[in-house]
Every structure is written in C-alpha cells, then in structure tokens.
Structure 1
C-alpha cells in the first residue's frame, strides 16, 4: 500500500470521475472501484486494530483516542482513523499560529527530533540530533501521520473552519516549540510516497516528535 498518501482523496477523485463519466455515458465501473477502495480501508483498519490497542495498553500512559470519522458511504458505515496519541510535554512557546492563506495552508518549517518504530520497537527512521523540515505533502518522505500530528484540527479562515486533508489534525492548537508528542497509527496513514523510504509497508507504526522550533 505504498502511495498511501491520502486514500480518502483517492476516493474523492474516483467519485468525481465516476460522476463525470456517467454524464458522458462512458461505461467505466468507478462505482466498483470506490467500493473496493472502501473495503480496503476497512480491512486494513480492522486487521491492525487489536495490535494497536494492545500496544497502547502496554506502552502509553495517557492515551487519547482519535475519534474523527471516515464515511464509507458504499459500505454504509463510519469508521475512525484508528490512531491513538499522547502529549508527552506541552509547548514551551505557544506563539506560533498555523494559518490558511486562501490558496492553501501556510507551510511551517520545523526543527525537530523524531523516531519512527515498529510495534516490536525496531527503529526504522529517526533524527536524534534535530533536523529542519518543511511540513507539506510535496515532501515525499512524509506521510499523512506527520500532518495529522502537527497541524491543528482546523484553522479559521474567513469565518470557515478549514481542515488539513479534509479530516483535520489531532489536537486543537497543533504542535509548537517544546511539544513532545507520541502517536501510533495504522499503516493507512504512515506509508510514504518515497520509493527509497525505510518505512515498512502494511505495518502500524509509532512516531515520537520533539519540536525544537517552528516558524
């Protein structure tokens, strides 16, 4: 499941194309493709749920359940994203504000330390000294879990609440300088677009972030 990047956006694209093709009278089974995509999402979440919950029970001190819903319309059900997180340290400086410009999110540059590990505690990616990263989807090394972790649930813009990736981040204010944050996620949100990535496919992963600065 490489190219995880946003299965929900893939669903939206397929749905839009399906409607367009119906208008043109083209005989393409996009409805079947949407149903197959929804079944795949549901299957991954179901198959990894027990292992994730067992890890959380054993390793997390104050876990928070992500309750954001995904609407699988063809299956006639709603599911959650399957992530759990905990705030290990609150920000030491909360002055940074995440913003939306109208043409898109204002992308922050972050200096941070981080680790990514499997449920068996094997570290598959890390930066122990603190590197500088630009947090957007154009960075092939990143996955949805990075953005869900860093960005707030929604950002106010012209009287509307705008959400990253249509679903929103995990916390009210997002991560800021001094934040230490741990999250465990199903593989739907952890795999990257990078062919050279060390992130294993089809495995839940645990991320720990320590934000040194953000601007």
Structure 2
C-alpha cells in the first residue's frame, strides 16, 4: 500500500537521504539549509508562474462559458464539480507513518492545453486508465483529495479542494497553472520526441472516476 505525504510541502530527495545515511559525519544542518533554500527558490518561481497564468486561466473559463466555477486564488486553480459520486465508495485516510494512503483510481479523462484547448492526451472511447495517486502530478492529487482527513481524532488538512474528495462516480474539471502540472519542463512523446506539453503550460483536465480503491 502506497502513501503520499501532505500536499504542497517540500519533497526531500530519497536517493540523497539513503546515500547520506551511509556516510559518516554527514552535515545534516548544511543539508537542511540547502534543501530549505532550494524550496524557497522554487516557491518564488511557483508564485511568479501563478501570478502570470491565473489571468489566462480566468479568461479561458470565460471564453469557454464554463458555469459554477470555483477559484482557489492561492493555487491559481479553477474547478467545476460535475458529479459528486458515491460518498460511501471510498474513505481517504492516513497511514501509521503520517502519509496519506494513496488509492488506485480507475478513470476516464481528457487533458487539454490552455488557452488553445488542444487535446494532448485522453483515454480511448470505451477504455479506462488506472493510476496510483502517489504517481500523478500535484494537480491531480489536489483534485482527488478531500480538504481534510480525521487522524487521531483531529482534522488534518491535506491540500485538497473539495470537502469529500473524489469518489466512485465523481466527475471534476479543473484548470491548473503549470507549477502543479509539469512546471518549466517540456513533455515529449516517448516514441517521436515531439513536444506534447510545452513548458510553463496551464492545463485543463476533466476526470471521471470509474472506480477507486486501495
């Protein structure tokens, strides 16, 4: 069973940590300062990208006449809940080590570039795709997770945007700025090498949850 940590926190490089644990006299203070500085720089970049892209996302919503759209200003993200889903079909939870238990989600989805609306990826008609939530981009985790999970008798925030999170039968459309998608990196087709998602691209996803389980 896989876990995901709370969203929007700094992710430490496990490879570096494993290597460091095998070294004598490793300077953890210096390592922590280095990681903190890297995160500070990345947070600054993310803030700038969101400031630049949020107006583009809002115009995209208006141009496509999307209704009942909710905005998360701090994330620069817009979303529509198209179907709530079966509340009893899945319960999000924390594991013993404090990570969120990441379910396997079977979905139908479509991804589009913003603002062009060009489809860059989608499930084929009549077919689905299955992902573990620990392996998807942050925007998908933000969309799937509930706002909070009860853990040891307390409500713990997760970084999710809806009260209950996505369940079986849920359908959501969300438009995300690039920091919660693929950042400043081009995404290329593995067979042709052609760029499918340009760097710094906001993205529009519609996801229908066919099934979700541990």
Give the TM-score category using the shorter length: 0.7 to 0.9
1:21 aligns with 2:12: no
**Alpha-carbon distance in structure 1 between the residues aligned to 2:35 and 2:84:** 45
Any idea what SS the aligned residue of 2:10 has? Answer: helix
**Alpha-carbon distance in structure 1 between the residues aligned to 2:171 and 2:120:** 19
**Alpha-carbon distance in structure 2 between the residues aligned to 1:22 and 1:204:** 33
Give the CA deviation at 1:10. 5.4
Give the match for residue 178 of structure 2. 187
1:124 aligns with 2:103: no
Q: Which portions of structure 1, spanning 4 or more consecutive aligned residues, are displaced by more than 4 angstroms?
A: 28-35, 192-198
**Alpha-carbon distance in structure 2 between the residues aligned to 1:36 and 1:105:** 26
Give the CA deviation at 1:86. 0.5
1:94 aligns with 2:95: no
The number of residue pairs the alignment matches comes to: 180
Any idea what SS the aligned residue of 1:61 has? Answer: coil
Give the match for residue 74 of structure 1. none
User: After superposition, where does 1:44-193 map in structure 2 within 5 Å?
Assistant: 44-59=49-64, 60-67=66-73, 80-91=74-85, 93-95=86-88, 96-103=90-97, 104-119=99-114, 120-128=116-124, 129-136=127-134, 139=135, 142-164=136-158, 168-191=159-182
Give the CA deviation at 1:177. 1.1
Give the match for residue 45 of structure 2. 40
Worse-matched range after superposition: 34-43 or 155-164 = 34-43
**Alpha-carbon distance in structure 2 between the residues aligned to 1:194 and 1:46:** 20
Any idea what SS the aligned residue of 2:123 has? Answer: strand
TM-score, length-normalised on structure 2? 0.73
Confirm or deny: 8 A CA contact 2:77 2:176 kept in the other structure.
yes
Give the CA deviation at 1:187. 0.1
TM-score, length-normalised on structure 1? 0.72
Confirm or deny: 8 A CA contact 2:113 2:197 kept in the other structure.
no
What is the root-mean-square deviation of aligned Cα atoms in Å?
Answer: 3.0
Confirm or deny: 8 A CA contact 1:117 1:205 kept in the other structure.
yes
Give the CA deviation at 1:34. 5.4
Deviations 1:146-200 (A, max 9, x none): 1001111111100233343xxx101010011111100001000011899767443
Give the CA deviation at 1:32. 6.2
Which structure 2 segments of 5+ residues have no match? 1-6, 13-27, 190-195
| Closer/same/farther in 2, CA of residues 99 and 22 from structure 1, 3 Å limit | closer
